[in-house]
Amino acid sequence: MRINILAGGPTEFWPDDIFEQEGQWLGADRGAWYLMQAGMDFQTVVGDFDSLTKEEFEKVISHLEANHVYRFPPEKDFTDTQLAIKAAASLGADEIRVYGATGGRLDHLLANLTFPAMEGFTELAQEIDLPDLVERVALVDKQNVVSYLLPGQKVVKHIDGMKYLGFMPLGLVDNLKIIDAKYTLTQPESKAIMWSSNEFINELVHLSFDSGIMIVTQSKDGGK
């Protein structure tokens, strides 16, 4: 089951076809208000909702059953987007697409990009019997798709319209090999540095690494 999460990031970063995506929708904080304004069908909202006025929040929950509203205090350990990813996984999603998680505050962006490192994520994946859950999550905006890989021999498929390919270890990655991209790479030990502006030669790029988590970006220039 695919669940799409709409977070509260600036709308100008949304893909043009955002509301044409298949799957269920989940609203994270102000993302719930955006879903309601767009007339989308959604059943679950998550967050502290501090970006909504009291009236806006009441309008959102009036469209939902009470047990589908997960409200947290503003003083919490996770961002609203991180909580929404947890909620989507707990609802049984085996594919999660996150929109509205880029743009705006840099601290939120960095927290969203590094969500696999958040405390409890690995335990959650084990609890719902999806140890590869991180590989089922992608953050999507108008110019970028961010995905994640666990150790092993991996394949990255080119996404239509995207030109550039990037890799960044989330923490320490051992024995990294980027095999058949435009720029190949062998690194016995690679820390959190972005190997950016690579490109596909064919539709697939193969890579391997022995430990850690790899962030994979596919991007295009603005206005294209």
Provide the domain count of the chain: 2
pLDDT higher at 61 or 13:
13
Q: Read off the pLDDT band of 224 (50, 70, 90).
A: low
Shared domain check, 154 and 136:
no
Shared domain check, 120 and 35:
yes
Q: How many Cα atoms are found within 13 Å in the side-chain-facing hemisphere of 121?
A: 20
pLDDT for res 209 = 96
**What is the average pLDDT score of the chain?**
89
Strands 164-178 and 195-199, by their bridges, are: antiparallel
Residues contacting residue 173 through CB under 8 Å, at least 6 positions apart: 187, 189, 190, 191, 209, 210, 211, 212, 213, 214
pLDDT for res 157 = 97
Shared domain check, 165 and 57:
no
* Structural domain contains residue 28: yes
Q: Which of 114, 140, 166 is the last residue of a domain?
A: 140
Distances (CA, A) of 154 to 180, 200, 204, 210: 12, 15, 10, 11
* Structural domain contains residue 224: no
Percent of the chain with pLDDT over 90: 56
* Structural domain contains residue 83: yes
* Structural domain contains residue 20: yes
Q: What is the pLDDT of residues 91-145, one digit of tens each?
A: 889 899 999 999 888 988 888 898 888 766 777 777 777 778 899 999 999 999 9
The DSSP code for 159 is P
CATH number at residue 174: 3.40.50.10240
Residue 53 has pLDDT above 90, yes or no: no
Shared domain check, 114 and 156:
no
Shared domain check, 183 and 121:
no
138-150 in b/e form (b: 16+ CB < 10 A) is bbbbbbbbbbbbb
Q: Which of 140, 168, 198 is the last residue of a domain?
A: 140
Shared domain check, 156 and 124:
no
Q: Which two tokens stand for residue 47?
A: 């967050």
Taking residues 56-72, report their average pLDDT: 78
SS3 assignment, position 72: coil
Please name every residue paired with 69 in a beta bridge, in sequence order, or none if there are none.
Answer: 45
Please name every residue paired with 71 in a beta bridge, in sequence order, or none if there are none.
Answer: 47
Shared domain check, 81 and 166:
no
Shared domain check, 151 and 129:
no
Answer for the pair 91, 133: CB distance below 8 angstroms, yes or no. Answer: no
- Rounded Cα distance, 166 and 194, in Å: 7
Q: Which two tokens stand for residue 78?
A: 């996770």
Which residue range forms the structural domain that includes residue 175?
144-219
Q: Which of 140, 168, 186 is the last residue of a domain?
A: 140
Shared domain check, 60 and 123:
yes
Render 54-71 in DSSP notation, one character per residue: HHHHHHHHTTS-GGGEEE
Shared domain check, 155 and 115:
no
Predicted TM-score of the model (pTM): 0.90
